[in-house]
A and B are shown apart, each in its own frame.
Chain A
């Protein structure tokens, strides 16, 4: 009986292994590596740019594959490629730059350090701190394509109608928010849900919720004053419903826009083009951007981050590494190309050119570029790419979000958020310091 079982198991294993080898050959379709092609994976938005590069380099064999922007897609595919030891893309675009932490980890070993491939002079041209997302233990594993610094978006018409001033400090912001909620019921001045809440408020305050020290070490400490001051800011506003826990992509949030209930909304740069008009249906000539309010004891306005993209080069690219790095450099830094991209370029010179068109955009009540440029140059440090990004969002909703809904003490709930973050970090093989 035992021998029979062992034999059948061995047969099964052999069958499974031969099955893997057999199907892996022709059908994978990602065998660019064998043909000496440069295999490039980009999302739909970045595909035309990659094709432009291909056209400009007729001597290079380039294969462009359009991938879905879903969270987790790239790690999934790379994980499978790691398993079969083939089929890795030479260049990949990440719609979720936090995945760089996964792809650069020892277990994945996919992302190649770019320090030797992209000159320092080029890397220095990116918005200050924007490459922090890509940097682990002093090495740069990706180049940012676009960044999503937060600014204070506001409705100029409502502000004028209600007789309010655009707040300069968070204390002003809180006062204005509470006043608006009282005088004009249903009006909101912010959203605290997932990355929108945690990235905008906790990110701009510099609360260490995901401060990556290296690929295996993360600093999480929610007892800091940079965290408790966010809880204190939001507490009365959550009680009076001046901030909402509804996620901005929820149809119910769009309803707030249609009903003229969004007075202010601190949020990422891309909210300007992609949320206020298309989703919230706020007519043109009303929305403007101001720098994020300043935190107590500081005079500089710091921005949080919600989103953005990044390019990675494969550690398996072999003799195509140089070509791969050149493509990534061009895609992220070419000013003419980046000027046409939909979101705020990470490369400062490109952002300037991008802003020339944005400044004249008739949608905005006033030129949003001064606020956006200032925000891009004032990213709050300590907001790293972590492998537990999804849990980081879910745990925020589970603790701070839930407490804000039920009117519980937000300061106290930070302790349970800390626990959840630590647990998530540890299962992702970080040591928490």
Chain B
């Protein structure tokens, strides 16, 4: 690592012919530091430092070093298996549906730009803006067949009461729908932004060549925004595997109906707040972080997300 950081300037120095280059290079380095600095600071203060503190907390029990004791206790907890299963099922339903919804709506908006596009983006964004107890009430009524605008659909799914909707297998479906409604809006805006920034000459060339809207989307737009899709995937996987708000909000609307340890993140929260055990909470949170990082690494390495023109060429 030492050699890597030191190598750059020495490698640049022996090149004599590029006289104006070092200056430009120097200016660029300063700019890079200015641009990266705030992020690096925030990453250190709100990312790395808490993670380090969590690691330390997870290794301490009653004020003394206890090694893997907290970790073993967490892995041994019967609630972890149930929660992990819930979250996995949730991700399997939510992630594909979210991605499909976001992609199809963003592409539709882009294929038919018009006056309503902006308004529609706002509409998609709205469900995510309702939070807290208002969201709890809203969703409780959404899943009550007698008051919900989706009543007939719910009845078709054999959901006769809100109690039905919030118990057993249908709870995951409800949470997934909730998750899509809440998160899709923001991603549609991001992806639509990416689409509007695509080079027009490429799209016009496709049009001149007679490519249909479908083919343009599939063979031109999608490959061009691939890295954005990867970004949506990583972020959504991380937030989905840490699902917390949806089950928590729903359970304030229907107390006693949903287990307070339904998801893994909720279990970590219960450790800290109801069991007063910060060691176990820290251990589980770090385990969740590891899962998120692993997923991010896989997606990044597979999609070449950070590839720039120069690294691609090299």
Interface residues, chain A, CB within 8 Å of chain B?
A: 1, 4, 8-9, 12-13, 15-17, 19, 70-72, 75-76, 79-80, 82-83, 102, 105, 107-108, 193-195, 245-247, 249-253, 255, 387, 390-391, 393-394, 397, 401-402, 423, 427-428
Q: Is B252 an interface residue (CB 8 A)?
A: yes
Tell me whether B276 and A16 are in contact (CB under 8 A).
no
Q: Which residues of B contact A194 (CB under 8 A)?
A: 255-257
Q: Which residues of B contact A13 (CB under 8 A)?
A: 49, 52-53, 56
Tell me whether B48 and A12 are in contact (CB under 8 A).
yes
Q: How far is the CA of A8 from the CA of B140 in the complex (A)?
A: 47
Known pairs A1-B1, A251-B141; A102 contacts B254 (CB<8 A): no
Q: How far is the CA of A105 from the CA of B275 in the complex (A)?
A: 10
Known A12-B44, A246-B163, A251-B147; 13 more pairs at CB < 8 Å: A12-B48, A12-B53, A13-B52, A16-B52, A17-B53, A72-B273, A72-B274, A250-B163, A250-B254, A252-B162, A387-B275, A390-B256, A391-B259
Q: How far is the CA of A252 from the CA of B164 in the complex (A)?
A: 10
Q: Which residues of A contact B274 (CB under 8 A)?
A: 72, 75-76, 79, 102, 387
Known pairs A193-B163, A246-B161, A246-B163; A251 contacts B256 (CB<8 A): no
Tell me whether A394 and B256 are in contact (CB under 8 A).
yes
* 19 intermolecular pairs with C-beta atoms under 8 Å apart: A1-B1, A13-B56, A15-B44, A76-B273, A80-B273, A102-B274, A107-B276, A193-B163, A194-B257, A245-B163, A247-B163, A250-B144, A251-B140, A251-B144, A251-B161, A255-B146, A390-B260, A394-B259, A394-B260
Question: What 1/0 flags go to B25-54 for Cβ under 8 Å of A?
Answer: 000000000000000000011001111110
Q: Which residues of B contact A390 (CB under 8 A)?
A: 256, 259-260
Q: Which residues of A contact B252 (CB under 8 A)?
A: 70
Q: Which of B167, B274, B275 has the most CB of A within 10 A?
A: B274
Q: Which residue of A lies closest to B56 (CB)?
A: A13
Q: Is B110 an interface residue (CB 8 A)?
A: no
Tell me whether A12 and B49 are in contact (CB under 8 A).
yes
Q: How far is the CA of A195 from the CA of B252 in the complex (A)?
A: 15
Tell me whether A427 and B276 are in contact (CB under 8 A).
no
Q: Which residues of B contact A82 (CB under 8 A)?
A: 276
Q: Is B168 an interface residue (CB 8 A)?
A: yes
Q: Is B217 an interface residue (CB 8 A)?
A: no
Q: Give 8 nearest A-B pairs by CB, closest first.
A: A12-B52, A252-B161, A16-B53, A194-B256, A76-B273, A393-B256, A394-B259, A251-B144
Q: Which residues of A contact B44 (CB under 8 A)?
A: 12, 15
Q: Which residue of A lies closest to B161 (CB)?
A: A252
Q: Which residues of B contact A17 (CB under 8 A)?
A: 53
Q: How far is the CA of A251 from the CA of B277 in the complex (A)?
A: 37
Tell me whether B276 and A247 are in contact (CB under 8 A).
no
Q: How far is the CA of A387 from the CA of B274 in the complex (A)?
A: 8
Q: Is B220 an interface residue (CB 8 A)?
A: no
Q: Is B278 an interface residue (CB 8 A)?
A: yes
Tell me whether A79 and B1 are in contact (CB under 8 A).
no
Known pairs A79-B272, A107-B276, A252-B162; A247 contacts B257 (CB<8 A): yes
Q: Which residues of B contact A250 (CB under 8 A)?
A: 144, 161-163, 254
Tell me whether B50 and A16 are in contact (CB under 8 A).
yes
Tell me whether B144 and A9 are in contact (CB under 8 A).
no
Q: Is B78 an interface residue (CB 8 A)?
A: yes
Q: Is B77 an interface residue (CB 8 A)?
A: yes
Q: How far is the CA of A339 from the CA of B162 in the complex (A)?
A: 36
Q: Which residues of B contact A394 (CB under 8 A)?
A: 256, 258-260
Q: Is B292 an interface residue (CB 8 A)?
A: no
Q: How far is the CA of A245 from the CA of B260 in the complex (A)?
A: 20
Within 8 A of A (CB), among B237-276: 252, 254-261, 272-276
Say how far A250's CB is from chain B's closest CB, in angstroms: 5
Say how far A249's CB is from chain B's closest CB, in angstroms: 7
Q: Which residue of A lies closest to B278 (CB)?
A: A83
Q: How far is the CA of A15 from the CA of B255 in the complex (A)?
A: 39
Say how far B286's CB is from chain A's closest CB, in angstroms: 13
Q: How far is the CA of A26 from the CA of B273 in the complex (A)?
A: 23
Q: Which of B45, B53, B141, B168 has the most CB of A within 10 A?
A: B53
Q: Which residues of B contact A193 (CB under 8 A)?
A: 163, 256
Q: How far is the CA of A15 from the CA of B45 in the complex (A)?
A: 7
Q: Which residue of A lies closest to B281 (CB)?
A: A79
Say how far B280's CB is from chain A's closest CB, in angstroms: 10
Cβ 8 A contact of A252, one of B78, B145, B257, B277: B145
Cβ 8 A contact of A249, one of B49, B56, B254: B254
Q: Which residue of B lies closest to A245 (CB)?
A: B163
Q: How far is the CA of A8 from the CA of B48 in the complex (A)?
A: 9
Q: Which residues of B contact A75 (CB under 8 A)?
A: 273-274, 276
Q: Which residues of A contact B48 (CB under 8 A)?
A: 8, 12
Q: Which residues of B contact A249 (CB under 8 A)?
A: 254-255
Q: Is B55 an interface residue (CB 8 A)?
A: yes
Tell me whether A427 and B79 are in contact (CB under 8 A).
yes
Q: Which residue of A lies closest to B168 (CB)?
A: A402
Q: Is B69 an interface residue (CB 8 A)?
A: no
Q: How far is the CA of A270 from the CA of B255 in the complex (A)?
A: 17
Q: Is B160 an interface residue (CB 8 A)?
A: yes
Tell me whether B45 and A252 are in contact (CB under 8 A).
no
Q: Which residue of B lies closest to A82 (CB)?
A: B276
Tell me whether B52 and A9 are in contact (CB under 8 A).
yes
Q: How far is the CA of A255 from the CA of B145 in the complex (A)?
A: 11
Q: Which of A17, A76, A108, A387 has the most CB of B within 10 A?
A: A76
Q: How far is the CA of A131 from the CA of B141 in the complex (A)?
A: 37
Say how far A40's CB is from chain B's closest CB, in angstroms: 21
Known pairs A75-B273, A75-B276; A251 contacts B49 (CB<8 A): no
Tell me whether B254 and A247 are in contact (CB under 8 A).
yes
Say how far A309's CB is from chain B's closest CB, in angstroms: 15
Tell me whether A251 and B146 are in contact (CB under 8 A).
yes
